[in-house]
Amino acid sequence: MTSLYLSCATTNTAISATPSSHPRPLLPKPSHSHFITHAKLTNRLHHVSCSSTPQNQNDETKKPTAKVVDRRNMLVGMGGLYGATTLASTPSAAANPIQAPELNKCGTATNLNNGEKLDINCCPPISDRIIDYKLPPVFQMKIRPSAHRVSPEYMFKFNTAIDRMKRLPKDDPRNFMQQANIHCAYCNGAYDQPGQGTLDLQIHNSWLFFPFHRWYLYFYERILGKLIGDPTFALPFWNWDNPKGMTMPPMFVDPKSSLYDKKRNQEHLPPAVVDLGLTNSTDTLQVVANNLTIMYSEMIRGNSDANDFMGQAYREGDESSAKAAGSSERGSHTSVHAWVGDFKDQPSGEDMGNFYSAGRDPLFYSHHANVDRMWTLWQYFLPSNKVPDKRITDTDFLNTAFLFYDENAQLVRVTVKDCLDNLRMGYDFERIDLPWLDYRPPRQSARAKINRASSTAAPKAAALFPLTLDGVVRFQVDKTKKGKADESLVLEDIKVDTTKLLKFDVFVNDEDDNPGELDKAAYLGTYAQVPHKSANNNSSTSSIKLKLTELYDDMDIDDDDTIVVTLVPRHQGPVLPLVVSRLSRIHRNRLPVVLDH
Ligand code: C2O
């Protein structure tokens, strides 16, 4: 049983240029073409509402509660218009960073799929000696290579290293399965937040996503290097953001290799092209165009602040099931998991398609090496006018701690603040073109004006919320102000069953009804999640915020009164309903994300 709650809102953004002066020797130079055209968007404040219905003072009392929706029961409910809400979590004076888990209290991890409960023991060996980790001085930069471009010698080394990892004693924390279990324990409910009762610790769907996985790969890489006596060994990245890297990298699909995993979608072996939109389109060229558009959207077009990309704040005492992933996590990251995992023959999409098992596929670490590369690119190489400040300096973020075993099987405590700069951690990435960097969709002025007839045919959003969405749905959203405004559409209170693969795309003023095509100005963004277990009966409530500013420009609809939003579900299998529950308005100055300038 699955339901999604959505709402829409707008933000007002003050934009200022904050140049990054970080020295980055290897990655490509940023392209400046984007912000020359958009430098004019400065310091504007606009109020735009989602609906013509006036706000009701007593909205809070009418806030709908999460409803369980039967799959066959595709109801469209009624809802109201709600006032400003807190999209990101409110910084509370009493908040603290999430503490490192207590290994001796590690419990059973679980997953559910179609009612089948899986109990998984993925707890690590216990050690009572924990060292606070200090980054060692960097004498030689490790360069992570593109997995499609590596030499036979490199493949041999990598293969040997993974093979040795698999042969380590089962209870050695550096053993291959032990390493895979790290992901399971941190993602499927094995740990509680220390001192917070049975509140789950979850490192996805929040600002911890990038830092946790960066540390995870950091030690994984060092362990592999140690096992082959090569401290310069660097993990390969799966370059799925470049057409030349959009198939599974060849070295992972040789059944005789230690890099092979049979629990993968057999239809997606090379030469199948990765489908970052999960559109199931059979038109390969269209899929490549979609992929580049998605990358441009999640890296550049859709983000107006650091949390839009990184994910929402997640502090001690917070319900992990009420957090929201950033654009990259829920976009390309989720799609690659789902595309590689086997949802046909495995109960829960194993291995890559479920968090508890994802780390059992060696391809996981190359997938995440590219996810990590996206973080670096975003931090240091993308136009800084799109997001005024990319740093999150909230101490609850910086002081969050995790535990890992290092290459010497020593248990170490690490913190987020020590992983913000990959160069300080001693690694960089091979320089590869970024074809998505300039992949802004073509202007669509001529057909962008949704014609009067179809615009009035679509119901007002306010009349639909809460909405159970069993297929494509379309509704009108009013703008209160004409002209150029920095606005975001916020889909809020998205209530999902976390054990399901769920995805939907959002379009604005899209008239052609060809949802297999994402490479157009009307494509606004995506919600998606990888199946996993969570607290709260495997349900979670999250939100997404999608910046509209560039879309308005590309479609020349600054001066319209109304936009028409289309939601297109993408998940495979039986149609799962979506519930659109409420509308809200969010003002920039109420977003409680603390950004230091
Ligand atoms: Cu921790 Cu890609 O997932």
Query: Residue 386 is encoded by which pair of tokens?
Result: 């799109």
Q: What is the pLDDT of residue 531?
A: 82
Q: What is the pLDDT of residue 80?
A: 21
Q: Within 10 A of 523 (CB to CB), how many other CB atoms are there?
A: 27
Going by C-alpha positions, the residue among 457, 502, 587, 445 that lies closest to residue 113 is: 502
Query: Which of the given ranges, 113-122, 183-192, 315-324, has the highest pLDDT on average?
Result: 183-192
Asked whether residue 20 carries a pLDDT value surpassing 50, the answer given is no
Of the listed ranges 76-80, 339-343, 428-432, 510-514, the least confidently predicted one is 76-80
Q: What is the pLDDT of residue 163?
A: 98
How remote is the C-alpha of 424 from its chain's centroid? 24
Please give the average per-residue pLDDT across 157-175, as a whole number.
Answer: 98
Q: What is the distance in A from the centroid of ligand 1 to the CA of 558? A: 38
Ligand 1, pocket residues at CB < 6 Å = 183, 187, 204, 213, 333, 337, 355, 358, 368
Rounded CA-CA distance 571/212 in Å is: 27
In a domain, 590, yes or no: no
Q: What whole-number percentage of the chain has pLDDT above 70?
A: 75
Going by C-alpha positions, the residue among 406, 348, 353, 366 that lies closest to residue 120 is: 348
Q: What is the pLDDT of residue 110?
A: 76
What's the structural domain count of the chain? Answer: 1
Q: Which residue has the higher pLDDT, 468 or 500?
A: 500
Is 337 flagged in the annotation as binding? yes
Rounded CA-CA distance 36/189 in Å is: 46
Rounded CA-CA distance 231/224 in Å is: 9
Q: What is the pLDDT of residue 41?
A: 24
Please, which pLDDT band fits residue 409 given cuts at 50, 70 and 90? very high
Residue 122 lies in domain? 95-438
Asked whether residue 359 carries a pLDDT value surpassing 70, the answer given is yes
In a domain, 509, yes or no: no
Q: What is the distance in A from the centroid of ligand 1 to the CA of 533? A: 13
Q: What is the pLDDT of residue 244?
A: 97
- Residue 302, CA distances (Å) to 296, 309, 479 in order: 8, 9, 19
Q: What is the pLDDT of residue 257?
A: 97
Asked whether residue 399 carries a pLDDT value surpassing 60, the answer given is yes
Q: What is the pLDDT of residue 497?
A: 79
Catalytic residue among 333, 367, 532, 571: 333
Q: What is the distance in A from the centroid of ligand 1 to the CA of 498? A: 14
Query: Which of the given ranges, 5-14, 290-299, 462-471, 556-565, has the highest pLDDT on average?
Result: 290-299
Please give the average per-residue pLDDT across 434-455, as a whole number.
Answer: 74
Any bridge partners for residue 196, and if so which? Answer: none
In a domain, 487, yes or no: no
Please, which pLDDT band fits residue 38 given cuts at 50, 70 and 90? very low
Longest dimension (CA), the chain: 70
3-state helix, strand, coil in the chain (%, to 5): 30, 15, 55
Q: Which residue has the higher pLDDT, 375 or 44?
A: 375
The residue with tokens 């660097």 is 234
The identity of residue 459, as a single letter, is: P
Rounded CA-CA distance 378/35 in Å is: 15
Asked whether residue 447 carries a pLDDT value surpassing 60, the answer given is no
Q: What is the pLDDT of residue 544?
A: 85
Q: What is the distance in A from the centroid of ligand 1 to the CA of 447? A: 39
User: Residue 571 catalytic?
Assistant: no
Please give the average per-residue pLDDT across 154-161, as a whole number.
Answer: 98
Rounded CA-CA distance 197/532 in Å is: 21
Is 367 flagged in the annotation as binding? no
Query: Residue 145 is encoded by which pair of tokens?
Result: 């290579």
Q: What is the pLDDT of residue 113?
A: 59
Query: Residue 333 is encoded by which pair of tokens?
Result: 């990251």
Question: Atom of ligand 1 at shortest distance to CA of 216?
Answer: 1
In a domain, 595, yes or no: no
Question: Atom of ligand 1 at shortest distance to CA of 329?
Answer: 2
Asked whether residue 190 carries a pLDDT value surpassing 80, the answer given is yes
The identity of residue 282, as a single letter, is: T
In a domain, 526, yes or no: no
Please, where are the H alpha helices in 188-277? 209-227
Beta pairing, strands 427-429 & 142-144:
parallel
Catalytic residue among 34, 46, 148, 337: 337
Q: What is the pLDDT of residue 541?
A: 81
In a domain, 49, yes or no: no
Rounded CA-CA distance 1/336 in Å is: 24
Q: What is the pLDDT of residue 54?
A: 29
Q: What is the pLDDT of residue 482?
A: 63
In a domain, 35, yes or no: no
The residue with tokens 């975001």 is 488
Query: Residue 253 is encoded by which pair of tokens?
Result: 């699909």
In a domain, 316, yes or no: yes
For all residues of the chain together, what is the average pLDDT?
Answer: 79
Q: Which residue has the higher pLDDT, 389 or 262?
A: 262
Please, which pLDDT band fits residue 485 given cuts at 50, 70 and 90? low
Helix (H) or strand (E) holding 467: strand 467-469
Would you state the torsion angle of the CA atoms of residues 325, 328, 333, 334, taken in this order, to the nearest 10 degrees?
A: 40
Asked whether residue 314 carries a pLDDT value surpassing 70, the answer given is yes
Asked whether residue 223 carries a pLDDT value surpassing 50, the answer given is yes
For residue 404, the domain's CATH number is 1.10.1280.10
Asked whether residue 67 carries a pLDDT value surpassing 90, the answer given is no
Angle subtended at Cα 203 by Cα 202 and Cα 207, rounded to the nearest 5 degrees:
125
Catalytic residue among 46, 183, 532, 571: 183
For 452-522, strand residue ranges (E) read 467-469, 473-478, 488-497, 502-508
Q: What is the pLDDT of residue 307?
A: 95
Q: What is the pLDDT of residue 173?
A: 98
Q: What is the DSSP letter of 104?
A: G
